[in-house]
Amino acid sequence: MKTMKLTDAFKTRRLSRQRGFSLLEFLIAMTVLTIGVGGLLPLLLGALTLDKKAAGDTTSTMVAEVVLEQISAQGAPSLDTVSITDCANPPNTPIISMGDAVIGGGSGGTYGGNGATLTSQGTIDWTEPYGNIPAGYAMQYVACSTTNDTQVTYDVRWDLIKTSQSDNTKLVVVSARPIVNSPVALGYILPVNLRTVVGMP
């Protein structure tokens, strides 16, 4: 019969204790993993927010372009009024009185003609409350959706400035931004400002 030495017994016991993770080692590994994943979570949320803001900027530009195109297409010198139509059901159709455009100092303030107030940089002043803008110079524009998504509503404002006393050309400034019900989720989306001249012979 073979006898086991005392040192062999200690080696066997030490090997049996090193065969896997202990509960303490497992908890430490999970803590390190949680801290690592937790550090990536703000980056992921920031990327999602930035993506939504970029989409909001893009669609705001498209909505402002649509409104500007509708004004330009109908804004011939012979027409006194222009109507804008959106995709609401029934559609919103504000009427713009093209003949009311002035050179400056109208309802658009010192720097604008008639319509929403303009800043000294020639952009729409978004500090003006929506209710203070004269009728026919702002609308809650419902954008069209081609994919059965929820339709987004945009706050669109514009101003008409007559370029001189003698001619029918007018500078049109249009600005748009989405109406966001939960601003914390998307952050602040800057409004888009576009300009064009209409009514040139």
Tell whether 168 is covered by a domain: yes
Whole-number pLDDT of residue 92: 80
Tell whether 11 is covered by a domain: no
Whole-number pLDDT of residue 41: 79
Can you give the residue range of the structural domain that contains 174? 31-198
Residue-level pLDDT, tens digit, the chain, 201 residues? 555 555 565 555 555 555 666 888 888 888 988 888 888 878 777 777 666 666 656 777 888 888 888 877 765 555 567 777 787 888 887 877 776 667 767 777 777 788 888 888 888 998 889 888 888 888 888 887 766 667 778 889 988 888 776 667 788 889 988 887 655 444 567 788 888 887 765
From the list 89, 98, 125, the residue with the least C-alpha distance to 109 is 125
Whole-number pLDDT of residue 85: 78
Whole-number pLDDT of residue 99: 66
Tell whether 1 is covered by a domain: no
Tell whether 146 is covered by a domain: yes
What total of structural domains would you count in the chain?
A: 1
Tell whether 163 is covered by a domain: yes
Structure tokens at 111: 């720097």
Whole-number pLDDT of residue 71: 79
Whole-number pLDDT of residue 50: 67
Tell whether 74 is covered by a domain: yes
Tell whether 4 is covered by a domain: no
Tell whether 8 is covered by a domain: no
